Amino acid sequence: MRQVATEEYRQAVLKDERAGIDVAFAWHTLAVWTEVGKERIGYFARALECGRAETAARPPQTPQARWGAVHREADCLFEIGRVHFHEKAPTAARWFLTEALPLARQADALLGEAGAQDVRLEGRIAELLLQLPEEGEE
């Protein structure tokens, strides 16, 4: 049932993309629902690209919007790194997780002002980084 719903949603997102409606939130949602690693990477990468474009075009003005933009970027990088980690690609995993870590810290610094809940993304990133083999041992 979930796969059917995900496929229907994927078709809607792709249709919107062809119509010129390309939104980070839609791609992020699709990535979360998708179970295939390579597809997840592609969808999170698209969410990351759209999010960055949205932020550049319309910089977030409120603390909540700033937190959301930074957290989404960190989350996309983390999820891409996590897929690489589970697919035994430690070099790629390390790169994405290392890119995500300062953004997660930045999002954490905005938590109070934004009134957001702590999602412990920094800890999840650090946990995976600690499980990776040392550089040169990969």
Distance (Å) of CA 79 to CA 18, 28, 39, 48, 136? 25, 10, 12, 11, 23
| Cβ neighbours, 10 Å, residue 81 | 27
pTM (two decimals): 0.92
Provide the 8-state DSSP code for 58. Answer: S
Q: How confident is the model at residue 137 (pLDDT cuts 50, 70, 90)?
A: low
The arithmetic mean of pLDDT across residues 50-79, rounded, is 95
Given a contact cutoff of 8 angstroms between Cβ atoms, the answer to whether 28 and 44 are in contact is yes
Task: Give, as one character, the DSSP assignment of residue 60.
Answer: -
Q: What are the pLDDT digits (tens) for 90-106? A: 999 999 999 999 999 99
